[in-house]
Amino acid sequence: MLPSIVPIASDVYFIGAFDPKIRTFDIIMKTANGSSYNSYLIRGSEGVAVMDTVKKEFSEAFFARLERLCGYEEIRYIVLHHLEPDHSGALIELMARAPEARLIISGRAVMMLKALFKEDVPFEIANTGKSISLGNKTIDFLSTPFLHWPDTMSSYLREEKVLFSGDVFGSHYYDERLFDDQVGDFSYAFKYYYDRIMRPFKSYVLQALKLYEPLDIATIAPLHGPVLRTNPRYYLGKYAQWSSEAKFRKHEFGKKMLSVFYVSSYENTQAMAERITEGADSVAGIVASMYDLTSLEESNMIDLLEESDAIIVGSPTINGDAVKPAWDLLSCMCFLESTGKVGATFGSYGWTGEAPEMLHERLRGLKFRLPQPPLKIKLIPTPKELESCYMYGREIAEITMGKMVEMEL
């Protein structure tokens, strides 16, 4: 059976592929509803543009749709908004079939093009301000880097008011009814996609939204999931909200947040956490809170890490390592922006006590500012040692409030 051809605007067609069976995407995402690799074809009075391709294994459906709409000799442009293989998988074959077509990529995509294809692929660069014409159709390019790779760009089909947004506004949600007003309720997938893919780059999301803002957008054509044609401003508004909202209220009260996360076997690291928190909280302008990592959900870890101005992580040392909940906490940073928060580590230990140093090194790798060496105490803290915990918390809090010290980066 021939694949369906679905117009998304006048002379603009969906030519992507559906992947209903995929259940994990890019290792970090669960895809209960499958996904799609969206690509589009624009027919103008002077030729055709192909907007992105698909994952290589899905090339057959892509080429079958494309061939129902045009001859390869008609293709003047191939636009790749993002070179990740789920969108560039059919590029080399398409260029072989359409040798006259000109490949358009962003400036930041050049190195990736070479790294991905290991051969000289001719290309032209597009940045904000560049446009291409298909006669009666004009495509304007917008530089929207780091959404979610450095190479990402968007484009806008002026006459039909279609925004080709790349991965931005995508959802891993397979539904061949295609349009947001016809598919099932994909709200969870839209939010989950933002959280997993775009949230680490939310400052870049806000920059992109500024470029999208003046556009009169009738349809958003993302690279995954439903095409968004019902009140596109709703989706822009959601991204704006999620990229700028505070999840905790302390900042509203003019306070900086310092979070002490700990794991404790025999309440020794917990005793340290309590005094560190008290010390930190004694500093004007700081609100300090402590969290037992063995009972903290991952989603709460992510929110707390994002909102905290400083984090202090404590773990005992077991078999020469920090314990898993502490590593799980720091692994959540892959969903967040690296912002130079203040960090510190501590822990009670029995023999060797490597955990605080190991966590300290991990924080360094995550680009935290590290003003103090790790604080380690052998087994049960003495009153004097607990006093040093209090002072440690105070010092980290004062630095968070702006006290100047020499700092590791």
Nearer to ligand FEO, 155 or 345 (CB): 155
Q: How far is CA 244 from CA 191, 306, 310, 366, in A?
A: 14, 12, 19, 22
Asked if 309 touches ligand FEO (CB under 6 A), the answer is no
Min CB(145)–ligand FEO separation in Å: 13
CB of 85 to ligand FEO, least distance (A): 8
Residue 87 found at the interface with ligand FEO (CB under 6 A)? yes
Q: Answer yes or no whether residue 19 interacts with ligand FEO by CB under 6 A.
A: no
Judge contact between 175 and 33, C-beta under 8 A.
yes
Select 142 or 257, whichever has its Cβ closest to ligand FEO. Answer: 142
**Rounded Cα–Cα distance for residues 348 and 388 (Å):** 13
Residue 82 engages ligand FEO in binding (rule: CB under 6 A): yes
Indicate whether 229 belongs to the interface with ligand FEO (CB under 6 A). Answer: no
Contact pick of 167, 180, 309, 395 for ligand FEO (by CB under 6 A): 167
Q: In the complex with ligand FEO, which residue's Cβ is closer, 55 or 360?
A: 55
Shortest Å, Cβ 143 to ligand FEO? 16
Among 15, 10, 37, 354, which Cα is nearest to 222's?
A: 37
Q: Write out the DSSP string of 205-229.
A: HHHHHHHHTTS--SEEEESSS-BB-
Residue in 138, 137, 113 with CA at minimum distance from that of residue 125: 113
DSSP-based three-state secondary structure for 66: helix
In the chain, what are the helix, strand and coil shares in percent, each to the nearest 5? 35, 25, 40
> Contacts with ligand FEO in 139-158 (CB under 6 A)?
148
Region of 84-92, 257-265, 354-362, 376-384 interacting with ligand FEO (CB under 6 A): 84-92
Q: Which is nearer to ligand FEO, 84 or 274 (CB)?
A: 84
| C-alpha pair distances (Å), 264 with each of 116, 234, 292, 293, 322 | 46, 45, 8, 9, 11
Least separation in angstroms between CB 316 and ligand FEO: 39
Please give the structure tokens belonging to residue 35.
């996904």
Return the SS3 of 132: strand
Q: Which is nearer to ligand FEO, 151 or 398 (CB)?
A: 151
One-letter amino acid identity for 284? A
What is the distance between the alpha carbons of residues 234 and 390, in angstroms, rounded to a whole number? 48
| Count of all residues that appear for the chain in the document | 409
| Cβ closest to ligand FEO, residue 223 vs residue 342 | 223
- State which of residues 11, 19, 52, 86 lies at the interface with ligand FEO (CB under 6 A): 86
Q: What are phi and psi of 130, to 5 degrees?
A: -85, 145
Determine the Cα–Cα distance for residues 384 and 387; give it in Å rounded to an integer. 5
Decide if residue 108 touches ligand FEO (CB under 6 A): no
Q: Applying CB under 6 A, what is the total number of residues that bind ligand FEO?
A: 8
Considering the complex, what minimum distance in angstroms separates the CB of residue 152 from ligand FEO?
8
Under the criterion CB under 6 A, does residue 223 sit at the interface with ligand FEO? yes
Q: Does 84 bind ligand FEO (CB under 6 A)?
A: yes
> Smallest distance from the beta carbon of 244 to ligand FEO, in angstroms?
23
Q: How far is the CB of 78 from ligand FEO (least distance, A)?
A: 17
Q: Which residue is nearest to ligand FEO (CB)?
A: 84
Least Å distance, CB 156 to ligand FEO, is 19
The bridge status of strand 375-378 relative to strand 342-349 is: parallel
- Contacting positions for ligand FEO (CB under 6 A): 82, 84, 86-87, 148, 167, 223-224
